[in-house]
Structure 1
Amino acid sequence: MKTTNVAIFASGNGTNCENIIKHFAGSEEVKIKFVLSNRSSAFALVRAQQLGVETIVVDSIQLKDESTMMDILQSHSIDYIILAGFLPIVPSYIVNSFPNHIVNIHPSLLPKFGGKGMWGHHVHEAVKAAGEAETGITIHFVNDECDSGTIIKQFKVSLSPDDTAKDIEEKVHNLEMTHFPKVLECIFSNKFA
């Protein structure tokens, strides 16, 4: 059976990144080849290094440079790219080279609370301000439009009027930790095909 080679792109703290690495540790079928970040200070890089995963930092110029990025991806024989809190828009040439092989997780029930500027606490504050009775996570393929790729799976959680934006964030984070690696496993093994 062919090994699925995975790259994780992350910009921040890296809890999802770490969770995915741990989930697939020791797997014969899935290999996390590297974690790439656009920020050298991203704690995701520290988490990856502590778990023995290669790390790569690229600046905005390198990210936009097709030959630089495609060299990195091809030299590691990458099959899937997972966005785990990666803030830059993925360049079109990468999206076009990996159709339905770039997966993002978004902290709301898309299409609600998606699009430019909607990430992290901005999403949870918007959900709170709108008085939503539920929120959740959306795992979706990446296309050329921000947060508008084909939805693979959504998971919901109920909200109470007393929930603060921080409470909402915690509920959503729990969904991410529980479901993201399992959904990725299904994607990699073509269970959603």
Structure 2
Amino acid sequence: MPRVAILASHNGSGFVALYEAMQSGKLSIEIPLVISNNSNATVLETATAYGIKNFAINTKTAPNPDAKIEELLHEYGCSYVFLSGYMKKISANITQNFKVINSHPALLPNYGGAGMYGRFVHEAVIKNSEKVSGVTIHEVNENYDDGKIILQKSLLLDEQESVDSLEIKIKEVEKIAIVEAFQAIIS
């Protein structure tokens, strides 16, 4: 069964979607490991509640965080890494040795790249009066939001769409897209 490590910086809502799909039998995966660069991340508490080993790895906890993350991925037998709102660039060593998957809150290649994450994406979409937005699940390489697209799901924006309302809609679509992408990847 494929083993998926989660890297998250805050809440890890995508992690929760994968965990729930795993528990319900929609996904045949194991999630043995959660890593955050943020010692106060809620995702660490969630992982503890789920009985999953979790670690805060950053420059305060490891002299070389990337090397420590790679060590843990090997130790826990992970072949996949899912970035659930992970706010650090992934080292080339990790992207070359593991299948790293990311969820981006827009339809790439639009609204991708350095600095384009979370609310910043939704603000740009609203500012540009877009009619459609969505979610892209993609492989991660050495460039921000540049890897092979696995799956995209789009949604129409309302005339009165706000950054807040779009963010809520995107998070709902994202939960579905993440599970569908992993179903496609591991089948």
Quickly name the TM-score band, shorter chain normalised: over 0.9
Distance 1:181 1:83 in 2: 13
In structure 2, the residue corresponding to 1:25 is in which secondary structure?
helix
Unaligned runs of 5+ in 2: none
Unaligned runs of 5+ in 1: none
Q: Give the AA of the match of 1:136.
A: G
Asked if residue 165 in structure 1 is aligned to residue 163 in structure 2, the reply is yes
Structure 2 CA distance for partners of 1:47 and 1:156, relative to 1, 3 Å:
same
Q: Give the AA of the match of 2:78.
A: I
- Counterpart in 2 of 1:30? 29
CA RMSD of aligned residues (A): 1.7
Contact kept in structure 2, 1:83 and 1:104, CA below 8 Å:
yes
Contact kept in structure 1, 2:2 and 2:186, CA below 8 Å:
yes
Residues 33-182 of structure 1 mapped to structure 2, 5 A cutoff: 33-60=32-59, 62=62, 64-65=64-65, 67-98=67-98, 101-182=99-180
Larger mean CA deviation between 29-38 and 124-133 belongs to 29-38
What is the deviation of 1:29?
3.7
Contact kept in structure 1, 2:47 and 2:54, CA below 8 Å:
yes
| TM-score normalised by L of structure 2 | 0.92
Distance 2:65 2:12 in 1: 25
Q: Give the AA of the match of 2:72.
A: I
Contact kept in structure 1, 2:6 and 2:35, CA below 8 Å:
yes
| TM-score normalised by L of structure 1 | 0.90
Distance 1:67 1:35 in 2: 16
- Counterpart in 1 of 2:15? 17
Contact kept in structure 1, 2:95 and 2:141, CA below 8 Å:
yes
Q: Give the AA of the match of 1:37.
A: S
Distance 1:161 1:64 in 2: 48
What is the deviation of 1:67?
4.0
Identity %: 30
What is the deviation of 1:65?
4.7
